[in-house]
Amino acid sequence: MLEIKDLHATVQGKEILKGVNLIIEPGEVHAIMGPNGSGKSTLSYVLAGRDGYEVTGGRIIYEGEDLTELDPEERAAKGIFLAFQYPVEIPGVPNSTFLNEAVNAVRRYRGEDELDKIQFVKMLRAKTKELNMSDEMLKRAVNVGFSGGEKKRNEVLQMAVLEPKLSILDETDSGLDIDALKIVSDGVNALRAPDRSSLVITHYQRLLDYIVPDKVHVLARGRIQKTGGKELALELEKNGYADYAGEEAA
């Protein structure tokens, strides 16, 4: 599904990723944990193709294709989805309109017919019901006036509607209470399938009680420092990141 080879990336001239290697097979859920400033969010932005995050070395191979030259919208159309740590508010654009545009843009790109309004609304209703979301949240402007939990649920709704093959969740657990965490995790778990993979980026082990990973990686100082099973997360929770802190992350 995804193969990251010796990935180097800079932001505003500063090298943040210094040779990341990672392989995610179809159907797998991987977690990336690490201290603040280790490059976790940078990795998620680089994978999603954000401007200003420059790949200076290495490759990102997704389904056999090098992604590094593709625009964010092309990556989205190919099935990559990034759930934002801080979802953006867009006043004046109704959530349902935004979702409709996104779904049809992706369908157009893939050469599929666009959904008409009735088809779209039917699909959307089903998804919101699964996620226990109110129709009212669809009418409101994108993320405007949403609580922290509602914003994250809205991210999961977008994910459910776009049905990505590779979901990247950037600190989706931050700012969530236990109930919201459970709803969000259920949404992610509902998408688990043999042909779909997830990369869960988190600072805390808590989320991994709900989204159980196949593999856990520790990212620090711009590199994967250690890889293990889900027990590695528990170990980190107990001992902290002190073992991985280099001179830069002190």
Partner 1 sequence: MTAVSFLEGGLDANRALPGDGLDWLKKRRDKGAEKFGALGLPTPKLESWKYTRLRPLDDNTYTPVLDGAGDASVKDLPSVGDVAGRLVFVNGKLREDLSDVSDLPEGVRFGPLDEILKDDPAWAEAHLGVVAQDADQAMLALNDAMMDSGFVLHVQKGVVLRKPVEVVMVGGMTDQPVAYFPRNLIVIEPNAQATLVKHHVGRGVGAYFANAATEIDVADGAIFKNYKVQAESMQATHVSTTHARVGRDATFESFNLSIGGLLSRSEAWITLAGEGAHCGFNGAYMMRGNEHCDNTSYIDMAVPNTTCKQVYKGVLDDAARAVFQGKIHVARDAQKADGRMLNKTLLLSNEAEIDTKPELEIYADDVQCAHGATTGQLDQTALFYLRSRGIPEALARNMLVQSFLGDALDEITDAHVREVFMDRVVHWLPAHCYLAGEWKESA
Min dist CB 151 to partner 1, Å, is 12
Pairing of strands 29-33, 197-202: parallel
> Collapsing DSSP states into helix, strand and coil, what is residue 31?
strand
CA dihedral sign, ordered 88, 91, 148, 104: negative
55 within 8 A of 67, measured Cβ to Cβ: no
Q: Which of 54, 58, 68, 98 binds partner 1 (CB under 8 A)?
A: 98
Min dist CB 104 to partner 1, Å, is 9
DSSP state of 39: S
Regarding 102 and contact with partner 1 (CB under 8 A), the answer is yes
Min dist CB 34 to partner 1, Å, is 22
Min dist CB 13 to partner 1, Å, is 17
The helix/strand count (H/E) of the chain reads as: 8, 12
Regarding 49 and contact with partner 1 (CB under 8 A), the answer is yes
H/E element holding 106? Answer: helix 95-109
Q: In 25-77, where do the E strands start and end? A: 29-33, 53-62, 65-66
DSSP state of 91: E
- Token pair recorded at residue 117: 């309004």
Min dist CB 103 to partner 1, Å, is 8
Residue 94 or 175 having the CB closest to partner 1: 94
How many Cβ atoms are within 10 Å of 185's Cβ, its own excluded? 22
Q: Which of 10, 41, 85, 96 binds partner 1 (CB under 8 A)?
A: 96
Q: Which of 18, 30, 75, 196 binds partner 1 (CB under 8 A)?
A: 75
Site for partner 1 in 143-202 (CB under 8 A): 158, 162
Q: Which of 13, 64, 92, 194 binds partner 1 (CB under 8 A)?
A: 92
Residue 131 or 220 having the CB closest to partner 1: 131
Q: Which span (31-39, 89-97, 125-133, 185-193) binds partner 1, by CB under 8 A?
A: 89-97
Q: Which of 13, 52, 64, 145 binds partner 1 (CB under 8 A)?
A: 52
Distance CA 224, CA 217 (A): 6
Distance CA 245, CA 115 (A): 50
Which chain residues interact with partner 1 by CB under 8 A?
48-52, 71-73, 75-77, 81-82, 84, 87-88, 90-94, 96-98, 100-103, 105-106, 109, 117, 139, 141, 158, 162
